[in-house]
Structure 1
Amino acid sequence: MATPTWNLYAFCYGRHENRLMSDTFIGGNPNEICRGLDYFMWAVVNGDRAIVIDTGMTQDKVQSMNRTWLADPVDLLGKVGIDAEQVDEVILTHAHFDHVGNLHRFPKATFTIQDLEMQSITGRDMTHPFFRTAYHQDDVEELVGLLYDNRLKFIHGDGSYAPGLDYHLIGGHSRGQMGLTVNTERGPVFLASDAIHLFKEVDEELPFIVFYDMAEMLEGYRTCARLAGDRAFLVPGHDPLVTDVYPAARPGLEGLVLDLGQAPKAA
C-alpha cells in the first residue's frame, strides 16, 4: 500500500527584522546584521484529518518583545479549512514560548510532546536561569494543567506518529527538540522546526544563540540535512527565505499561509 501523503502548510504570524549577527549566532559579528527571523506554526492535512504543529505566540507577547505582528496564527488555520476549536491533535516540537502560545484555543485537542522536553521544563534544568530564557512560566503551567486533564501525550525518540508522518528527536536547541518528516505529493519534506532556525546554521555550521547542548545542536544540523536529503526538502523553523520561496496556499495569502507541499522557487 502506498504511503499516504499530507498537505503541509506554514502560517507566518510574526517577524523580527534586522537582527544583529551577535544576537543570532554564537560568535556572530556585532557589526553585521542578518535579515532576522520569521515566526511560524504549521499544520498537516490528510482528508478530514488535520494535525496542528505548534501553536505560535499571542499578539501581546509578540508586541511586548518588539516583534512585528503579521496575523493571528490560529485564525490563519481557517484559511485552509481548519477550525481550531475542532482540532483533535496538536504536536509540540518543543516548548519555547513562541511555539506553545494559544494552547487554550484548541479546547478539544490532545497535545503530543517529547518526554525529554517535559522533563526539562518541569525539573532540575529550570533551576538554571540560562535554560529558562526561552520558556515562560504561564506556558509551562498550562502544559502541566493539560497533563492533569489527560490531554498531554508523550513520545520518546524517533518513530511514526501516523502513516506518512514521522518524528525525530534532534535535541540541541532544547532538550526535547524534535523535527518531523512529512510525506507530501512532492516527496518527504523535513520540517526542522527549531532544530534549525536558519539555513545559515546548516550552510556554515553557525550555532544559534539559544541552545541546550551545543555539540548536540551542531550534530543536529547535520542530522536534519541528512534526513531532508536535499535543501529543497528542508524547512527551517524561522528562516525568512521560507516565506520568500514557497507559494501561497491560495491567492491573497502570500507571505502568510504557505504551501510547503509545493516545490520552492529558487531563492
Structure 2
Amino acid sequence: MTHWEVHAVKYADRNARTRADSFLFDDNHDAPHAMDYYIWVLRRGPEVIVVDTGYDKAEATTRNRPIRMEPAEALAPFGIKPEDVTTVIVTHLHYDHAGGLHLFPNAKLHMQAAEMAYATGPCMCHDTLRMPFTSDHVCEAVKRLYSGQVVFHDGDAQVADGVTVHCIGGHSRGLQCVRVLTDAGWLVLASDAAHYYENFMAQKPFPIVVDLQNMLDGFATLKRLASSPELIVPGHDPLVRQLFPVGIAPHITRLDQGPMKEIPH
C-alpha cells in the first residue's frame, strides 16, 4: 500500500490566551498559552483528502478571532482549489473546523452521525454548549446532507485505504480523530481530542467539554491508534511547527516523515 503525505496548514493563531483557556485544574492558570489553527491535507499521488476546513474572514470578524489567510489561500501552495476537492473529513462541527464547508461545494463530508445529532439536538438549547458552533456552518452541513453529500460514520470507519476515522467525543459529542498510514507509521491527527501535547501526555482535560470521561478515555485511544506517541499530532499546539519540518510554504508543516525532535516533557 502506498503511504500518504500529511501536511498541517496553519491559517490562524491566537496569542491572547492563558493556560486557564487550555487546561482544567492548572496551577499556573494565568500564564500565557498561545494557540495555532490548522487545516490538514492528505495526499497520495493524485488523491487528496482535506481534514477540516478552517473558517473565513466573515467568521473571523463575527467572533473577533482574526485569521492570517483564507482557507483557499492557505491551500494554494498545493495547487488545490477548494471546488476540486471531493473528500473532506469533518472532525467536528465547531466553527474553527467546519467554518469553511461552503468553500468546498463538491466534496462529500465524512462525519460522525453523533456529531450531527449533537449539533442539531437539544444540547444546543444551552448557551455554553452552543458557543463553539455557528448556525450557518451547521445548516451548511444539513444542506449537504439533503443533497446527498454527507457520509455518516458510527464509531470506527475507513474513508480510504490507509485512512480511518475513530469517534472519541469528549470535546464535542461526535468528535473524531483521523488515523493515516505514513512512511513513519500510523499517524493520528487528534484534532480536538487533544488540543495540545500536554492534554494527552499529562492527562489534562481541555475546558470546552461535553463528556469529561470520554475526553480522558480518548487520550488512551489516541495512544492505541498511533504507532508511537510521537505520531499523535494535536489539533492546536504551536509545538507541532517546532517538532516537524517546514513543508512547501512557511505556513505548512510536513508530518508524514515523523518529528525531527522529541516531544518536550
Return closer, same or farther for 1:31/1:52 CA change in 2, 3 Å cut-off: closer
Q: Please say if 1:264 is aligned against 2:259.
A: yes
- Residue from 70, 73, 89 that aligns with 1:72: 70
Q: How does 1:56-71 map to 2 (within 5 A)?
A: 56-71=54-69
- Offset from partner CA, 1:66-98 (integer Å, 9 cap, x none): 445222222222212222111111110110000
Give the structure 2 partner of residue 25 of structure 1: 23
Which secondary structure does the structure 2 equivalent of 1:205 belong to?
coil
Residue identity over aligned pairs, in percent, reads: 36
Retained in 2: the 8 A contact 1:8–1:44?
Answer: yes
**Helix, strand or coil: the match of 2:17?**
strand
- 1:129 corresponds to which residue? 127
CA deviation profile, 1:146-198 (whole Å, cap 9, x unmatched): 11111112111002111111111111111101111111122211111111100
Identify if the C-alpha distance between structure 1 residues 258 and 31 changes in structure 2 by more than 3 Å, giving closer, same or farther: closer
Match of 1:85 among 60, 83, 86: 83
Between the aligned partners of 1:31 and 1:172, the Cα distance in structure 2 is 22
Q: Secondary structure at the match of 1:45?
A: strand
Q: Secondary structure at the match of 2:245?
A: coil
CA distance in 1, matches of 2:134, 2:64: 17
Equivalent residue for 1:110?
108
Root-mean-square deviation over aligned CA pairs: 1.6
1:248 corresponds, among 240, 246, 257, to: 246
CA contact (8 A) 1:112 1:153 kept: yes
The answer for the alignment partner of 2:45 in structure 1 is 47
Aligned to 1:142: 140
- Asked if the contact 1:63/1:69 (under 8 Å) is kept, the reply is no
Q: Give the aligned partner of residue 226 of structure 1.
A: 224
SS at the partner of 1:56?
coil
**Would you say the 8 A contact 2:56–2:67 is kept in 1?**
no
One-letter identity of the residue aligned with 2:158: S
AA in 2 matched with 1:112? H
Aligned pair count? 262
TM-score (norm 1): 0.92
Match of 1:113, SS? Answer: strand
Q: Offset at 1:62?
A: 2.8
Task: Return the TM-score normalized by structure 2.
Answer: 0.93
Are the aligned partners of 2:111 and 2:151 in contact in 1 as well (CA < 8 Å)? yes
Paired letter, 2:221: T
2:160 aligned residue: 162
Change (3 A) 1:171 1:152: same
Identify the range of structure 1 (62-71 vs 156-165) with the bigger mean alpha-carbon deviation: 62-71
- Runs of 5+ consecutive residues of structure 2 not aligned to the other structure: none
Report what 1:237 is aligned to. Answer: 235
| In 2: Cα distance, 1:182 partner to 1:30 partner | 35
CA contact (8 A) 1:207 1:218 kept: yes
